[in-house]
């Protein structure tokens, strides 16, 4: 099984509109698929790849134009400054959990494999899924499952988890939660439970917010950002920031009523994978792409 197969590869590169000699960032290296495609187009130029998971490091392209940065993309500008980079021509971010992380049972991400309740994208971080489930108060668990898993029975689920403690494996969590699932929707429901826990363990949404806020100063005039999201919570942050310049979706207007935003969306609606890609890469089914561009100097 490959580490990770890049989703929407052709669409991602098309919306990046690569300049052969430009400077670019792959903010989520993963299996290196997007990075290798970018390098195939660059003639000269420079590419910086970023990943918080040390297991992604062996996937770094062996290319003198590529530099690997170890860390979370919420720290992107600081990491780039350490390499003397203040601005870039374009940036790609794929927010999905990698195939490797899902398929490695010991990482605890997958419904299909029994493993420890870990779910950390960066294994050096202290909080695991087991610690969250076994030590967070019932009220806090309810506040996690309602918004991050979009689970209507969040209160009942929280009570059941507290009663079932201690939970140490994914199988134990599934057994505890599955009785709340509607008929024929068990896998969907359990995926929502796992998603909510994973989001909190990895601070995923706050990391995306911090990442998006770095885009305006990081992009050169005319530079582009392409983001791939995999569920509505991620996509809403990207959509709001591209449309309004903030993740809350609040329009900011000047004295004359003109919308003020640092980037202009290039995609009115998200772009989804075609059937042919989904057949070859089923995990691309959930991917949705949005792109935006920073105004050129002569447009400002």
Lowest mean pLDDT among 22-36, 47-61, 86-100: 86-100
pLDDT tens readout for residues 185-221: 999 999 999 999 999 999 999 999 999 999 999 999 9
Report the pLDDT value the prediction gives residue 263, as an integer from 0 to 100. 97
End-to-end CA distance of the chain: 48
Contact 37, 124 (CB under 8 A): no
Report the pLDDT value the prediction gives residue 63, as an integer from 0 to 100. 97
51: confidence class by pLDDT, cuts 50, 70, 90: very high
Contact 288, 230 (CB under 8 A): yes
With vertex at residue 4, the alpha carbon angle to CA 184 and CA 71, rounded to the nearest 5 degrees, is 110
pLDDT tens readout for residues 100-124: 777 788 898 888 889 999 999 999 9
- Burial of residue 69, with CB atoms counted within 10 A of its CB: 0-12 exposed, 13-18 middle, 19 or more buried: buried
Residue 3 pLDDT greater than 80, yes or no: no
Residue 4 pLDDT greater than 70, yes or no: no
Alpha-carbon distance values, 240 to 72, 138, 213, 268 (Å): 22, 31, 12, 12
**Comparing C-alpha atoms, which of 282, 272, 288 is closest to residue 234?**
288
Look-up: residue for tokens 């709340």? 180
Report the alpha-carbon distance of residue 276 to residue 280 in Å, rounded: 7
Contact 12, 36 (CB under 8 A): no
Is the pTM of the predicted complex or chain greater than 0.75? Answer: yes
Average model confidence (pLDDT) for the chain?
94
Buried/exposed code over 243-262 (b: 16+ C-beta within 10 A; e: otherwise): bbbbbeeeeeeeeeeeeebb
Q: Please, what are the domains in the chain?
A: 9-99+204-299 (3.40.50.150), 126-201 (1.10.150.170)
Report the alpha-carbon distance of residue 61 to residue 206 in Å, rounded: 29
């Amino acid at each position: 099984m490959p580490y990770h197969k890049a989703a929407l590869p052709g669409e991602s590169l098309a919306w990046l509109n690569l300049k052969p000699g430009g400077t670019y960032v792959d903010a989520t290296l993963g299996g290196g698929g997007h990075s290798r495609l970018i390098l195939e187009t660059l003639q000269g130029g420079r590419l910086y790849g970023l990943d918080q998971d040390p297991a992604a490091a062996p996937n770094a392209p062996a290319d003198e134009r590529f530099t690997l940065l170890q860390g979370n993309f919420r720290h992107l500008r600081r990491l780039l400054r350490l390499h003397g980079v203040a601005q870039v021509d374009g940036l790609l971010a794929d927010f999905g959990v990698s195939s490797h992380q899902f398929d490695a049972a010991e990482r605890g991400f997958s419904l299909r494999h029994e493993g420890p309740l870990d779910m950390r994208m960066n294994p050096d971080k202290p909080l695991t899924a087991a610690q969250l489930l076994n030590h967070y108060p019932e009220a806090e668990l309810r506040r996690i499952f309602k918004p991050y898993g979009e689970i209507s029975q969040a209160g009942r689920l929280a009570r059941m988890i507290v009663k079932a403690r201690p939970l140490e494996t994914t199988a134990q969590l599934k057994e505890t939660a599955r009785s709340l699932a509607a008929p024929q929707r068990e896998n969907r429901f359990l995926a929502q439970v796992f998603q909510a826990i994973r989001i909190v363990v990895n601070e995923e949404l706050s990391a995306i917010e911090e990442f998006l806020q770095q885009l305006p100063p990081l992009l050169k005039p005319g530079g582009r950002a392409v983001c791939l999201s995999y569920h509505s919570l991620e996509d809403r942050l990207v959509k709001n920031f591209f449309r309004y310049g903030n993740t809350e979706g609040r329009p900011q207007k000047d004295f004359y009523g003109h919308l003020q935003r640092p980037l202009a969306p290039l995609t009115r609606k998200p772009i989804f994978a075609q059937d042919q890609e989904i057949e070859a890469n089923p995990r691309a089914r959930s991917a949705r792409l949005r792109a935006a561009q920073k105004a050129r100097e002569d447009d400002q």
